[in-house]
A and B are shown apart, each in its own frame.
Chain A
């Protein structure tokens, strides 16, 4: 912070407290050795050990991760393409309808989305499982990606792409070498958004899942109805860890690109 004032400091502290105190409590209690969630009985990693023995939770975690990675990746590709069309194509017949239809899932109640997808899958006779959840998550997170990416694209200077074409790039190369690197931060944050949306989605997953696939939120929700257990705390802590690591990796990847660029730049240097 450039200027330190008591107001800023207080606002910051309160804001962070509001955001993170519940999580910190959860994390702390996940290391509680007592079986009673609300009574502190000393530090222990016992519940993590038990969690690792719990096949059901491990399965659910694996399913969730698979679903999140697949759906967010597909959603990022489709959402970016949709954003390109929306921002680039100018005025074409049905443009308003098209953009409206892309953004509609943003405001659609999840219950409706889930229900309609369920009906669709039953209708076309698709067996419910990992695939159906991936499809469902892709549809609803795609619009988030498209919103994030198109807000970046509107400020993107088209003449950069023209310059790339002028220097001999095919339109696809121009996209890959110029547009994509420049909008990459938006695409990555779109992916992360889709990933986290998929990770914690309960409603749509419940509608579209079948007996073969249970995601963590579904698992946790059903477990909590029988009472909060320290194991759940441990599991949630792990999820927080996964998300944190994911964000760190994402920023490292972008850092990596910067380092590569720095190396290229050193190549440009020549002893005078």
Chain B
């Protein structure tokens, strides 16, 4: 039996857990969130991605109840939140600044929210121990926040927000200060928690690899607006704009004029260069400005002229970046445009065929790239 894919956003009967309805947030005359409408569903792992200052934290703070929308409405579980104070929301937030209580030990920081619920002592102690184990902080339980390292503090903040097992968890850059190994472990831990408890996560991250790993959907933001929301693979393979393509991963952008040819589109990007042929479901007017976006790993590089390929260009190797598992070649076209091509280093010792200043051919299929109008 095929496993059903988790995609509540495609199900018209599904009720969203969080609804932003035309939300605008202004600070003075500065607009931090600009008429944002977005649904987030229960059990989602919703990742917010975007440059610094684009409004990610502001969105979180509105969900937690620390900021009120200037315009529009936020609904959680169908209920309008505008009059609900932070302490009456089944939402916990991990602060970007951690906001640990300096006068309390790590243990008491984690127990803080549990004590407010008035649970009995044994239950609280058991829960705190569990959180300490999860975040590998058991050894530091009795220390004060100022006596532990930055990464440990981040884990305390994470443990504190997880402790109450809220319906909705807001994590503002939860793993930024951790080393790669611990970060990956914690990512899987989070996904595990999510699976077990059914908590809905909204997570801010600067690390797109992290967003790709954990998220059910990724939202790419810019200047208070969401530019695209999609599953990680869609956002990578089918970005809706140059901005998104450029923000997520490495990409070559070639800008030219469209020349539709049946179900294909030819792109004229420079005098004396062949047209680039791509496929798309969008319609382009002849002569319209068009951007061709292609990931470096989809660009093949050869010393010989390849045959049977709709797209091939000749250039000179300008630079080679060896990254262990892959190598990236920077190929300069006669027009001065630089195209990056990536190959996997599948053999440990290979006869290096391509080197600096070599004349090479780069090529790709007509479905390898994405055609964008903005």
Contact = CB atoms under 8 A, between A and B. Distances in A.
A214 B141 CA distance: 55
B87 A169 contact: yes
Contact of A167 (B125, B138, B142, B160): B160
Interface of chain A, helix or strand or loop or mixed? helix
B86 interface: yes
A269 B106 CA distance: 11
Interface stretch (B43-51, B90-98, B210-218, B248-256): B90-98
Given A162-B66, A166-B86, A270-B129, A182 B103 contact: yes
A15 interface: no
User: Which of A163, A171, A173, A178 neighbours the largest number of chain B CB atoms within 10 Å of its CB?
Assistant: A163
Nearest to A168: B116
B105 A268 contact: yes
Contact of B87 (A165, A261, A269, A270): A165
Contacts of B92: 166-167
A264 B141 contact: no
A168 B86 CA distance: 8
A163 B95 contact: yes
Interface string A230-272: 0000000000000000000000000000000100111111100
Nearest to B96: A159
A268 B107 CA distance: 6
Interface string A167-208: 111110100011001100000000000000000000000000
Contacts of B101: 160, 163-164, 178, 182
Interface in B61-108: 64-66, 85-87, 91-93, 95, 97, 99-108
A157 interface: yes
Contact of A269 (B102, B108, B142, B164): B142
Interface in B109-155: 112-113, 116-117, 125, 128-129, 138, 141-142
Interface string A27-42: 0000000000000000
B181 to A, nearest CB: 24
A267 B138 CA distance: 13
Contact of B112 (A164, A170, A266, A268): A164
Contacts of A264: 105, 107-108
Contact of A166 (B64, B102, B106, B129): B64
B156 to A, nearest CB: 12
A265 B142 contact: yes
Interface residues of B, number: 34
A159 B92 CA distance: 13
Contacts of A160: 99, 101-102
Contacts of A178: 101, 103
Nearest to B106: A268
B86 A173 contact: no
Nearest to B140: A268
Contact of A265 (B66, B95, B107): B107
Contacts of B66: 162, 165
A71 to B, nearest CB: 29
A177 B103 CA distance: 10
Contacts of A165: 65-66, 85-87
User: Which of A165, A169, A182, A261 neighbours the largest number of chain B CB atoms within 10 Å of its CB?
Assistant: A165
Contacts of A163: 93, 95, 99-101, 160
Contacts of B105: 261, 264-265, 268
Nearest to B117: A168
A133 to B, nearest CB: 36
A48 to B, nearest CB: 42
B99 A162 contact: yes
A185 B45 CA distance: 43
A112 B103 CA distance: 43
Contacts of A166: 64, 86-87, 91-93, 113, 161
Contacts of A182: 101-103
A177 B138 CA distance: 24
Interface string A135-159: 0000000000000000000000101
User: Which of B105, B129, B161 neighbours the largest number of chain A CB atoms within 10 Å of its CB?
Assistant: B105
9 contacts: A157-B99, A162-B64, A163-B93, A163-B100, A163-B101, A166-B93, A167-B160, A267-B125, A268-B108
Interface of B: 64-66, 85-87, 91-93, 95, 97, 99-108, 112-113, 116-117, 125, 128-129, 138, 141-142, 160-161, 164
What 7 A-B pairs have minimum CB-CB distances, sorted nearest first?
A268-B107, A167-B113, A265-B142, A168-B116, A163-B99, A159-B99, A165-B86
Interface of A: 157, 159-160, 162-171, 173, 177-178, 181-182, 261, 264-270
